[in-house]
Amino acid sequence: MSGRKLTWNILAGAVSLSFWLPSAALAKSEADFFKGKTVTYIIATAPGGGYDYYGRLVAEYMQKHLPGSTFVVRNMPGAGHIIGANYLYASKPDGLTIGTFNTGLIYNQLVGLDSMKADLTKMSWIGKASTDPRAVMVSATSPIRTFADLQASQQVIFSTSGVGSGGYAETKVLSEMLNLPIKLVTGYNGNDDQLAMRRGEVTGNINTRSSSEPFVKNGYGRFIAQIGGRETDVPQLSTFVTGDDAKAVVALIASQGEIARLTAGPPGIPPARLEVLRAAYKAAMEDKELQEKAARGGRPVEPLYGPEVEKLVKAALVQSAKTVATLKDALTEVEDPGSLKAVGPLIKIEEGKKITFNGADGKPLIMEVSGSRTKVTIGGQEAQRNQLKVGQNCEITYVAGAPEPKTVACQ
């Protein structure tokens, strides 16, 4: 090799090294940033259920693969994941607050729901843990055995967590478009809906298949249709659907199953720090121990990372005007999304007006029923507050922190 060529190679290597060293040093400094720090992982629903399961799994193994860090899980339920997602969106973009929420927020952004402050196109996307199709499930004690039976039924009660949730959006729009005899009741967080099915309070729901699978395998429920996914043991809802508008909405719902169990941070996390989080997330998802734990829990792990997830989310937010109008027609006639809804018995009544009941988060709540502002019904008929009795099963709508409920509807 000539001296000139050798000199050029040495110089080229030095130039290459000079470009590589700063980026490597930057990556190391960003990884070192997390040492001794606490990362708060927001789960936008109550403990129990699929989102809580995946969120805690992700937090546990990201901590393992981000040396020196401590991950703390914070459940933040309310308004169908909107409260948690809005909090996450508004958090300081230092990489120390990340979390998960329902893909149903895509529908809320499409229709421009006022309470939805988070802009999903601007989030710092870290990854998604699963591909998890939706399934229509009914209680095993129900006479409904097929989707055709559901279509032919009288009114049946389906449960969901809240107005902002994917379950609410999907159940509402499908019941409207397919003329299904479903009365939708909110306020069931975590696995409350399955407990309610066992008590006979509700007939069924539309939820992720992985969340419902153990319930079905234990003999408490049955699947009558599925939306998306590759399983062949349950009929695809698309086979029951006619009309271009309905098919487009079913296809949109099916696409949400491809980006299940998301993890994201607020907009503006420094790129190098975001890459550290993405690397820790990828290492967590590819950890054999995590995969084995998820398999034992019957939870699928089919991850995607960073830009791939961002691309899928943005694609889901590009829909035809007709599809958006269909969603809007079904979703904008609902009650104030800031409202919460609790379903269950009245635990205590004091002074003929102060009622104690379990709120939407499952914790006891005391409110004073107004004689003029609270709408009270019993068995579908208008009633007075002094007609309320301990033990009556009621559906109560209220705003968190308010002194009185908006409605009390008892059986």
Would you say the C-alpha torsion 342, 344, 347, 348 has a positive or negative sign?
positive
Over residues 393-409, the pLDDT tens digits come to 888 988 877 788 988 98
Q: Are residues 384 and 318 in the same domain?
A: no
Rounded CA separation 301/297 (Å): 11
Over residues 100-155, the pLDDT tens digits come to 998 889 988 998 887 889 999 999 999 999 988 999 999 999 999 999 999 999 99
pLDDT at position 370? 87
Q: Are residues 142 and 235 in the same domain?
A: yes
Q: Are residues 138 and 223 in the same domain?
A: yes
pLDDT at position 219? 96
Confirm whether 19 is domain-assigned: no
Q: Are residues 261 and 127 in the same domain?
A: yes
pLDDT at position 136? 96
Q: Are residues 219 and 295 in the same domain?
A: no
Q: Are residues 142 and 112 in the same domain?
A: no
Structurally, the chain folds into a number of domains equal to 3
pLDDT at position 325? 84
Rounded CA separation 235/254 (Å): 14
DSSP codes of every residue in 92-126: -SSSSEEEE--TTHHHHHHHT-TT----TTTSEEE
Confirm whether 11 is domain-assigned: no
Last residue of a domain, one of 270, 305, 329: 329
Single-letter amino acid, residue 312: L
Q: Are residues 147 and 234 in the same domain?
A: yes
pLDDT at position 10? 39
pLDDT, averaged in runs of 10, over the chain (411 residues): 45 40 61 96 90 96 97 88 92 98 88 88 96 93 96 92 76 88 84 89 91 94 94 93 86 86 97 97 98 92 95 90 81 58 89 91 88 82 89 86 86 77
Single-letter amino acid, residue 107: Y
Supply 87's token pair. Answer: 């909090």
Confirm whether 4 is domain-assigned: no
| Strand, helix or coil for residue 196 | helix
Q: Are residues 242 and 218 in the same domain?
A: yes
**pTM for this prediction:** 0.65
Confirm whether 2 is domain-assigned: no
**Residue of 197, 209, 303 lying closest to 253 (CA atoms):** 209
Last residue of a domain, one of 297, 329, 361: 329
Q: Are residues 148 and 236 in the same domain?
A: yes
Longest Cα–Cα distance in the chain: 102
Single-letter amino acid, residue 5: K
Confirm whether 14 is domain-assigned: no
- Give the CATH number of the domain where residue 198 resides: 3.40.190.10
By CB neighbour count within 10 A (0-12 exposed, 13-18 middle, 19+ buried), where does 192 fall?
A: buried
Confirm whether 265 is domain-assigned: yes
Q: Are residues 99 and 62 in the same domain?
A: yes
Confirm whether 307 is domain-assigned: yes
Last residue of a domain, one of 246, 274, 308: 246
pLDDT at position 26? 57
- Give the CATH number of the domain where residue 350 resides: 2.40.50
Q: Which domain holds residue 159?
A: 134-246
pLDDT at position 5? 46
Element (H, E) at 46: none
Q: Are residues 128 and 261 in the same domain?
A: yes
Q: With contact defined as beta carbons under 8 Å apart, do 227 and 236 qualify?
A: yes
Confirm whether 350 is domain-assigned: yes
- Give the CATH number of the domain where residue 274 resides: 3.40.190.150
Residue entry with tokens 């208008």? 382
Q: Are residues 90 and 46 in the same domain?
A: yes
